[in-house]
Structure 1
Amino acid sequence: MKVELENVKPKEIETRSFEIITEELGDKKLIPGTECIVKRCIHTSADFDYADNLCFSPNAVEKAIEAIKNGACIVTDTQMAKAGINKKALAKYGGEVYCFMSDEDVAKKAKEMGSTRATASMDKAAELGKPLIFAIGNAPTALVRLYELINEKKISPYLIIGVPVGFVNVVQSKEMIMDTDVPYIVARGRKGGSNIAACICNALLYMIDNERDYWK
């Protein structure tokens, strides 16, 4: 069987990919202002379900962009998500990316409390005293602990990106976050992942400053 490839120059591959995504979405209506995020999640995963399962609280995107411009930092629940976020772009506004999952004190506290490291890492994040955006792509226990910390008035995130993937308490933890007053971007259901968490962060950064040199 002869396979025919599209003749696309390297610099045009991303542009062509987004053209295909737009074509395949057809008449699908996306929430105004969220198109970049939804399409980038589809681009990252090749999964068009994100056009339906990504949920945004009112003005979540605008509030997140404003927080980033004012120096908000991002806390993730995996080193993979941390690695995938464009730290150079975030640093332009004074923000940093944190992941405490490998920290010895987090591991020790998790063992003492009989909890997951993700739970303990949320407690550590709450002590930072900085404006924070949380990008959770793996551990539903991180979302559950954030829900508890919010209700205990110990933390007030500028945004929670709730996209853990899996089967145990994943759906429930996302619904809990959507029941708070905190701005959120949540992938309802079982789908998500660290790559999606990083993708959403990068989409927000890209919406602020899309100069290509910045993304090399």
Structure 2
Amino acid sequence: MTPNTVTEQLTAAGRAIEHDSFAIIDAEVGHHAYTAEQWPIVRRMIHANADFEFNGLAAFHPDAVEAGLRAILAGATAVVADVEMICVGLSKSRLAHFGLHTHEFISDIDVIEAARAAATTRAVQAMRKAHRHGLLDGAIVGIGNAPTALIELLRLIRDEGVRPALVIGMPVGFVSAAESKALLAGLIAVPWITIRGRKGGSTLVVAALHALLGLAEARQHQAA
């Protein structure tokens, strides 16, 4: 199979370190129940945090990986994030290869004003703004920081018929984080990837997305 180039580290030294890290994880992880396409996503999340507990905490809707790959390979897909950290963490060159565009609204003045007026969070209003702009349908939505963003997205899916292509819902924290992800894990209509419990974070969303981009590039090579 043709090796990936776009979604790999840019230098030979960087590639060697990353590949050696993955090999160590494969050697030390022990048993796992993930499929051949799910495992690279979990492995990259373990790599991002040096935490083997993600073997078991990471959970997937049955259609999650395939839905994510379809959305990436379709081109021009929106990637909607709850916080700027996700957008900054994603490789611009890898996104550009697939024509993907990132969006986040958490610090917009109108979002802040709406949150104050409604006595809610900026994350809630940011998801509503993304919906008003028509960005959520068919999008990959990454939530790594704000449980209220995930809860609002689930409301939009349930009550307003919003249909993202994939939700990567991994908010971290002690208030509503585990609960919001449990709600996501009960969702049937929209594919999702999540982490059970309190652990999560924007770095894990970025890791999952980078793993999906790598799988998408490999599929491009297969098609060629």
Q: Tell me if both proteins adopt one fold, taking TM over 0.5 as the criterion.
A: yes
Q: 1:139 matched to which residue of 2?
A: 146
Q: Which piece of structure 1 moves more, 24-33 or 181-190?
A: 24-33
The aligned length equals 203
Return the match for 2:49 from 45, 48, 60: 45
Structure 1 CA distance for aligned equivalents of residues 164 and 14 of structure 2 = 39
Q: Deviations over 1:64-108 (max 9, x none)?
A: 110111132111111111101123322333320111111111111
Rate the CA distance shift 1:31–1:10 in 2: closer, same or farther, 3 A: closer
Aligned residue number for residue 4 of structure 1:
none
C-alpha RMSD of the superposition: 1.6
Shift of 1:154: 4.3
Task: Check whether the contact 2:168–2:193 (CA below 8 A) recurs between aligned residues.
Answer: yes
Structure 1 residues not aligned, in runs of 5+: 1-8, 211-216
Q: Any idea what SS the aligned residue of 1:209 has?
A: helix
SS in 2 for 1:157: coil
Q: Which residue of 2 aligns with 1:168?
A: 175
**1:120 aligned residue:** 125
What amino acid is aligned across from residue 60 of structure 1 in structure 2? A
Q: Greater shift after overlay, 63-72 or 37-46?
A: 63-72
Q: Residues of 2 paired with 1:89 and 1:127: CA distance? A: 27
Structure 1 runs, 4 residues or longer, greater than 3 Å off: none
1:55 to 41, 53, 59: 59
- Aligned ranges for residues 19-98 of structure 1 at < 5 Å? 19-70=23-74, 71-98=76-103
1:204 counterpart (212, 218, 224)? 212
Q: 1:156 maps to what in 2?
A: 163
Ranges in structure 2 where 5+ consecutive residues have no aligned partner:
1-12, 219-224
Aligned mates of 1:203, 1:128 — CA distance in 2: 28
The aligned counterpart of 2:4 is none
Amino acid at match of 1:139: A
3-state SS, counterpart of residue 142 of structure 2: strand
CA distance, structure 2, for counterparts of residue 48 and residue 19 of structure 1: 14
Q: Structure 2 length normalisation: TM-score?
A: 0.86
